Amino acid sequence: MTAFRSLLFLLWFAALSTILSLLFWPVLLLPRGATIWLARTWARAILWGLKVFAGIGFEVRGTPPRGPVLVASKHMSMWDTLALYLVLDRPGIVLKRELLFVPFFGWFVWKAAAIPIDRSARASALRKMSQAAKQVLEEGRPVLIFPEGTRKQPGAAPDYKPGVAGLYGMLAVPCVPVALNSGVYWTSFLKHPGTITLEFLEVIPPGLKRDAFMTLLQSRIETASTALLP
């Protein structure tokens, strides 16, 4: 039954994404607000299908931040990006530049939310990322980053990259850690029924030293995410 419901959701995801991309690609020619509206509509519809076809809902704990802040989240599945894009207020999302080259999907992401990073560029990548992030903050919007840079299985050893500390130091804004347990329910294909928990944790003030910030960020996210696992 789980496999069958997972297949239904996959078909919903593919059909919805294809139809919206083909019908609404002219939105890319309009101001960014139109693309944001479409992206949020797509994300809501995907999560609706996830609930209806796969039996996966979600709950939010804590208060989602508003305004110019850095949000650093645990990353276990694609669900994380969808849900956080809806829960936060028009966030700019730090993501791999390669994703922008995906036809239609990458184009919409680029227009709606992308803060692209070229990992091969190292120091120059951090400067470009911080410049784009500062523009997002100046618009009164949050910046979302996944500090480990890739999805991790529930319970896997953490691997926090230094980019989040560099961005935290350059932006000089508070950082809101986020814990979640989406990987328990959303796996590569199978979608297991249940309720995903997304938890906003205690704010980390600006101005901490790099090592102190990284230690505190990892401790808070990993401790809270582990507590959410079955």
- Chain-centroid distance, C-alpha 166: 19
Q: What angle do CA 72, 128, 73 make, to 5 degrees?
A: 10
- Mean pLDDT, residues 166-180 taken together: 96
Specify the pLDDT at position 197.
98
Specify the pLDDT at position 123.
66
15: in domain: no
206: Cβ contacts below 8 Å, ≥ 6 apart: 168, 171, 172, 173, 174, 175
**pLDDT band at residue 103 using 50, 70 and 90 as cut-offs:** low
Domain harbouring 201, CATH code = 3.40.1130.10
210: in domain: yes
- The greatest distance separating any two alpha carbons of the chain, rounded to the nearest whole angstrom, comes to 51
**Entry pTM:** 0.92
End-to-end CA distance of the chain: 21
24: in domain: no
90: in domain: yes
Give the domain extent around 65. Answer: 56-228
Q: What angle do CA 35, 134, 211 make, to 5 degrees?
A: 125
154: in domain: yes
Cα–Cα dist 168/150, whole Å? 19
100: in domain: yes
How many domains does the chain contain in total? 1
Pairing verdict, β 175-180 and 194-200: antiparallel
Q: Contact 12/54 with Cβ under 8 angstroms?
A: no
203: in domain: yes
16: in domain: no
Tokens of 81: 């990006």
Specify the pLDDT at position 118.
67
User: Which residues pair with residue 95 across a beta bridge?
Assistant: 116
- Mean pLDDT, residues 22-34 taken together: 83
Cα–Cα dist 12/139, whole Å? 34
